Structure 1
Amino acid sequence: MTRRTGVVVVGGGQAGLAAGYHLRRQGLDFTILDAGPAPGGAWQHMWDSLHLFSPADHSSLPGRLMPVQPGETYPDAAHVVDYLADYEKRYDLPVQHGTRVDAVRRDGDRLLVDADSGSWRAGAVISATGTWSRPFLPAVPGRGVFTGRQLHTVDYRRPADFSGQRVVVVGGGNSGAQIAADLALDGNAEVTWVTPRPPRFLADDIDGRALFGVATARRRALDAGRTDTGGVASLGDIVAVPPVRAARDAGPLTAQPMFSRLTATGVRWDDGRQAGVDTVIWCTGFRPALAHLAPLELRGPGGRIATEGTRSLGEPRLHLLGYGDWTGPASATLIGVGRPARDAARQIAALLR
């Protein structure tokens, strides 16, 4: 069965909900299709100790401030899930959970969205699938011969799962630092943290509030034709959240250089050093989950779809939301996704009317 609607939003996490809020304000007919069985997007899959970088009042979607979590300056992931579930209910957003979108294709003057539960013909589509479902694993020599466990950030939950093990955590970003700190502070695993380059910690007093301001200032400078300020990347790679600071200052969070290869039983460095390893946790990032857009043949070098703001240059009925700075400054964050979601909804309303 093929249904008809004004707009289909693919993805019901924070970006999809922000899109729904602004589409509702534009008076548009829309449907949100979400592969997850319950509200909360990727936040429901995060590790137990994860907290936001920012206080609740700087971690909110449009129209509804996130409530303060009692006893916490920075809310944890479970609190974010509760907030997103409440947001979806409060604004009565038409989210169909457990619906996986397989393809978006052109169909005359409409876009046809094929899902496992049927199809929709829409005047416009907002892709808001994020990156969590596409973990990236680097092509490190020996990865196929290592006989221990290899996990990714998406698989990590708690230190107790690694008690008594020799664990190597790979990655010089926030996830790598936080997971290495989590394991090191627990003290029940032998942890080695390796990074491709020496870790760059941001100043201890910088949190998500400052980072959002820096990202916004960079986008304004670029839009005005001024010199690129470098944005958040110019400040460092790792936000020094309290557990990371504690592990760093106490000593157990000391990075080693990246190993050159995996062996059957561990890792080896270029200088000949070796270490036995039971588990490698790859905190090596993600790629945008865009396979459903393949029929539109829009991807260019590096797999990225060219956009102006959120609008695809090759298909003006398609908008991409929440994938990072290329679809809006800080658009992969709770507080940052609101403005590009608003702009996308306004452009879609103008197109359909």
Structure 2
Amino acid sequence: MTVYGATNGAGSGAAPERVDVLVVGAGQAGLSAAYHLRRRGFAPHREGVDGGFVVLDGNASPGGAWAHRSPSLRMATVHGFHDLPDAELPPVDPEAPAREVVPGYFAAYEARHALPVVRPVSVRAVRAESELPTSRLLVETDRGTWSTRALVNATGTWTRPFLPHYPGHFAGRQLHYADYRGPEEFTGRRVLVVGGGASAIQVLSEVAAVGETVWVTRSEPVYHDGPFTPEYGRAVVARVEEGVRLGLPVRSVVSVTGLGPSVAYRRAEELGALHRRPMFDRLTEHGVAWGDQELAVDAIVWATGFRPEVGHLAPLGLRSPGGGIALTGTRATADPRVHLVGYGPSASTIGANRAGRAAVNDLVKLLGDPAKEPGTAPAGPRSAPAGPGRAAVAV
């Protein structure tokens, strides 16, 4: 693996490192894209040498969002996990913390495939080098600027927890699921859990064992009693994909799959924690209220989801009038140089794998096939030859 200096050779005053493809993020989607880039013949970038690909990761160590999950989340209670391409997850203890198992698996994967991951690097902005649709992209980071012909954005959602606004003020403990670290601090307490997804179920299944829980959701939770068959999965993804194609705000795949008979769900059910109440009207100093009825609680856990981390793409003007980024496959409809993976319909571990492959297949068509010229940069001009109207092709 390439070892870069303190500023990756692209620090202040230095000429940007030039690559063919730059991947932002080294979670499941980013690693999948990196694997397929290598498989299709793109070489890991070498400092000071024009071409190849690189992965910039904001974390100090491998693991993506998994490294930040609650220590209480065990592999047995993970809401689904799919192996990375060409690397089966070794057998693990079901009671092992997911925040240890998955990052270890990711680290081994990076080493096995010699993926050029540079970390920690915070990407601040991506902008076009010029107004020409064939120009290169400049990726500005806290460790200098990179120049790339194409970009794969795999930044996920973990760094953008969503907290809805409700009138009033609660004087007690409030935290988002992103900051939840297990049930211990809530022993003997009454805890309000807000949200209708898998994260809320995990919190209920743990906190109800040590304290009292009250569960509220904005709408009636969707239950899925049958098996999560491939056909059901495709139908769910299609619903999310339609919205993304139209440029609407993203709905996560997990949010529309429904609650199934997971280990956490069964535990919460056994503890009597799945008696859902409708959303409250306002916060009060000591709790929440529905009209004139007030409920005192000691803490509120907001399991209210996340939003895509795409603010650094704002200079490219990719957002549609609907508020989201319209995609054709994984490609930003407005810019063939930019692909988003782990976004919308591919925001699941299996979806991220497929999106990484589809993005790379499309980029080979855009940039040229490096496998046809072993040991060289991809064939074709140094700038992307197609304009915004180019159709995505996923093989």
TM-score by length of 1: 0.86
Decide which of 109, 116, 136 is 1:87's aligned counterpart.
Answer: 109
Q: Is contact 2:253–2:344 with CA below 8 Å preserved after alignment?
A: no
Any stretches of 5+ residues in structure 2 without a counterpart?
1-13, 43-51, 242-251, 369-395
Decide which of 147, 154, 158 is 2:178's aligned counterpart.
Answer: 154
Q: Distance in 2 between matches of 1:130 and 1:152?
A: 17
Q: Distance in 1 between matches of 2:182 and 2:267?
A: 18
Whether 1:136 aligns to 2:162 is yes
Q: Distance in 1 between matches of 2:176 and 2:167?
A: 17
Do the aligned partners of residues 341 and 162 (structure 1) sit closer, same or farther apart at CA in structure 2, a change above 3 Å counting?
A: same
Whether 1:46 aligns to 2:69 is yes
The structure number with the bigger radius of gyration is 2
Instruction: Please give the per-residue CA displacement for 1:100-119, whole angstroms capped at 9, x wherever unaligned.
Output: 00000001420000010011
Whether 1:182 aligns to 2:206 is yes
How high is the sequence identity, in percent, across the aligned residues? 45
Measured after TM superposition, the shift of residue 249 of structure 1 is 3.4
Decide which of 339, 350, 360 is 1:319's aligned counterpart.
Answer: 339
Whether 1:14 aligns to 2:22 is no
Equivalent residue number for residue 221 of structure 2: 199
Instruction: Please give the per-residue CA displacement for 1:258-304, whole angstroms capped at 9, x wherever unaligned.
Output: 1111011211013x221112221111111110010010011124531
Do the aligned partners of residues 234 and 47 (structure 1) sit closer, same or farther apart at CA in structure 2, a change above 3 Å counting?
A: closer
Whether 1:257 aligns to 2:278 is yes
Decide which of 117, 123, 142 is 2:149's aligned counterpart.
Answer: 123
Measured after TM superposition, the shift of residue 64 of structure 1 is 0.9
Equivalent residue number for residue 362 of structure 2: 347
Do the aligned partners of residues 211 and 130 (structure 1) sit closer, same or farther apart at CA in structure 2, a change above 3 Å counting?
A: farther
Decide which of 168, 177, 182 is 2:192's aligned counterpart.
Answer: 168
Equivalent residue number for residue 101 of structure 1: 123
Any stretches of 5+ residues in structure 1 without a counterpart?
224-230, 326-330
Q: Distance in 2 between matches of 1:234 and 1:211?
A: 17
Measured after TM superposition, the shift of residue 71 of structure 1 is 4.9
Instruction: Please give the per-residue CA displacement for 1:306-333, whole angstroms capped at 9, x wherever unaligned.
Output: 11001111111000000121xxxxx222
Q: Distance in 2 between matches of 1:287 and 1:220?
A: 19
Q: Is contact 1:110–1:122 with CA below 8 Å preserved after alignment?
A: yes
Q: Distance in 1 between matches of 2:147 and 2:184?
A: 48
Instruction: Please give the per-residue CA displacement for 1:14-52, whole angstroms capped at 9, x wherever unaligned.
Output: 111001000111212111001111100000111223232
Q: Distance in 2 between matches of 1:255 and 1:64?
A: 40
Instruction: Give the ranges of 4+ consecutive aligned residues of structure 1 lying more than 3 Å apart after TM superposition.
Output: 74-77, 217-223, 231-236
Equivalent residue number for residue 54 of structure 2: 31
Q: Is contact 1:146–1:266 with CA below 8 Å preserved after alignment?
A: yes
Decide which of 84, 99, 102 is 1:61's aligned counterpart.
Answer: 84
Do the aligned partners of residues 211 and 117 (structure 1) sit closer, same or farther apart at CA in structure 2, a change above 3 Å counting?
A: farther
Equivalent residue number for residue 393 of structure 2: none
Q: Distance in 2 between matches of 1:301 and 1:161?
A: 44
Do the aligned partners of residues 307 and 101 (structure 1) sit closer, same or farther apart at CA in structure 2, a change above 3 Å counting?
A: same
Q: Is contact 1:101–1:113 with CA below 8 Å preserved after alignment?
A: yes
Q: Is contact 1:61–1:337 with CA below 8 Å preserved after alignment?
A: no
Equivalent residue number for residue 227 of structure 1: none
Q: Distance in 2 between matches of 1:235 and 1:114?
A: 35
- Report the RMSD for the aligned CA atoms in angstroms: 2.5
Q: Is contact 2:280–2:289 with CA below 8 Å preserved after alignment?
A: yes
